[in-house]
Structures are given as structure tokens and as C-alpha cells.
Structure 1
């Protein structure tokens, strides 16, 4: 469930410098490549942990049901709006009294309709993520992203050193959120 790499917020110069230091290069000629490697590493981190790293806006489409339904992204920070989308495409904003929302202690967002009246789907807009920017990421996640980007940089010419470093997995594993489908 990755976002396109272009949807990531700008990578700060100090994070690029951190990768440069990690791979021991002293020039900035490859900063654009390192930026792309950082975005790829962060995307892999999100996929591995099951959590969004940087808070971003998300839109989910869910079926119209009166039972509680989980939102797809974690951890949910806030739920902005809910719309009922008809089978032919038009959307109507749901009145607050027509549904209930909850964000539990695990950061899982929930919605439940009080009644289903005609729409075939619900479109939810919400924000999810662990940190407001790169600097607020937990140290283990950030260091794993730096190491993974360094691995990508070192192996950019197609020479594989035997797979990603196991240290990356060790750094990310405490943040992993498994979901049963």
C-alpha cells in the first residue's frame, strides 16, 4: 500500500548529509540520487512496518455498512470528513450525526454509519503518520532508512552485496504492525 515516491515531503539536506556520511562520500554530486534512495527506503520502511512515517492526507473508499470498519492507514491522527458516494459517482457530505468515528489507542481509525441510505461507498479523508516531519521520526526508523538508502547507493550499479543489511530489519522490527486480512 505504498504512496508514490513523489508524494513524500521534501527530504531535508541534513538527512541527505547523514547518508553521505554513512557511505563516506565527501561531495554533493549524487545528492539527487541519494534523495531518491531515501524516498525508496522510506517507502520500504512503511511497507515493512505497516505504518505511515510522515503525517500525510489520505483518502479511503469503504463499502457502505452499519458495522464498524477499519481505516486502511496507520496511525490515524485525525479524521477530516466522510462522504457517501453513489453508484453513479456523485458524492454528498455526510452529516456528523449520520456516522461515528473513533481512533483507538493503537492509532487505528474506525467508522460506523448509523444508517445506510443509498450510497454504495464511503469516501473518508483523514491524516495518518507517526511524525510531522523527517526530524521527528523515531531514531530506529530514521537510522534504518539511512542504512537502506546507503545500501541502495552502494549497489546502484547492479552489484548486489547479498541483500539488504539485516541491521535495517532489526531497526525497523520494533515498529512493525502486522494486520490480518
Structure 2
């Protein structure tokens, strides 16, 4: 399986002014925007870390997910959430010939944590032998910062500030994330079901 972003978050969508205020950086000077490219890089890093930890896409983007076999014949969970639309599904055989699946053959099952692709007729389209299916979809809370839930916005700003404050630090352990950020993200993390219950 392979997930690829077809689109990226535009710079103008990033909350650079909000982040500048969060850091309490000086304002009213002619060089107010001098650090904007640096702030943008920390915001992008924080967003990526939040998305990796939660499986939730912060800003709306288009993804292509390539699979080589469906997990079940009738329904396939999607790798990220929230998903707003399945744009198309393309089946490709071993020789590279591609066929677009009719949109009437499947539907999106919306779920805050585990959205899925479901067959309308009982079985998802058969993936050719040694071939693949490319599922193209829209995911994310929305195109603007205001569409993102407030606690996720706070987590991004806190984590970006952490990166900014410790930008010269080289001794922090890999994957280090402040407790306050972890607490804010906890309810967004997908639940794993084990034999004994929720893990």
C-alpha cells in the first residue's frame, strides 16, 4: 500500500500570523515578516507530526492511495481521516492498462476515525492479478485554519512553538512530544481493538 499527497497545503492557508502571536514576537516593525519562512517551516513540521500521530489530515488535500489487494471483498478502510469524498478509483493491470471504476459501484462510509470504501453491490471491484487499485480521495478538516477543530489548532501551535524554542537542541529523543500536545491529541488517535477489548 502506498499513500501519496497529490496536493500540498498552500502557504497562505498556514496560520503564520496566529503562530507569531502565540510566540509573542514583536510587531509593528518594518521587518515583522522577516521570520515568516522559518515560522512556516515549523508549522509544517508540527502539522506533519500531528497527522502522523493521529491519522487525521489537518488541511484539506487530495490523496492517491494505491492498494494491491482489498482487505475484505465488500469494504476497505481508508488510511486517513476525515475523508469528504472519493474522487475516483482506477484499476490497473500488470501491463499498465487502466480502467476507471463507475462511481455507482461504491460509496464512502464516513467515520471520524475510520472512514471506509464500501461496495454497493456486495463486492468491491476485482483488482487484476499482479495489478493495483488507485483510490483518489479528498481528506482533511477543510481548506482554512478556521475549519480545523480548536484543540487540534492548539496542539499544532504548541508543538510548532516547542520546535521553535528548541530549534538548536540536538539531545531530545526521537519522537519527543510535549505532554500538553499529547493530551490534546489523545482523543483523535484511532482506537485499536484487541482480543481483550480496546488497546
> How far apart are the structure 1 equivalents of 2:35 and 2:4?
24
Q: Which has the higher contact order (CA 8 A, sep 6+)?
A: 1
1:124 is the counterpart of 2:124: no
Deviates more, 1:63-72 or 1:122-131: 63-72
CA contact (8 A) 1:11 1:35 kept: no
TM normalised by structure 1 equals 0.82
Number of residue pairs aligned between Structure 1 and Structure 2: 178
**Counterparts of residues 132-171 of structure 1 (less than 5 Å):** 132-158=143-169, 163-171=176-184
TM normalised by structure 2 equals 0.75
Q: Which runs of 5+ in 2 are unaligned?
A: 27-31, 195-199
> How far apart are the structure 1 equivalents of 2:88 and 2:4?
21
Instruction: Give the match's secondary structure for 1:127.
Output: strand
1:75 is the counterpart of 2:88: no
Alignment CA distance shift 1:180-1:41 (3 Å): farther
1:102 is the counterpart of 2:103: no
1:29 is the counterpart of 2:34: yes
CA contact (8 A) 1:84 1:92 kept: yes
Question: What is the CA-CA distance between 1:130 and the residue it aligns to?
Answer: 1.8
Once the two structures are superposed, residues 69-125 of structure 1 have per-residue CA deviations (whole angstroms, 9 ceiling, x without a partner) of 22222111011111111112221112345x322313446021444553746221111
Alignment CA distance shift 1:62-1:117 (3 Å): closer
Root-mean-square deviation over aligned CA pairs: 2.9
- Richer in helix (by share): 1
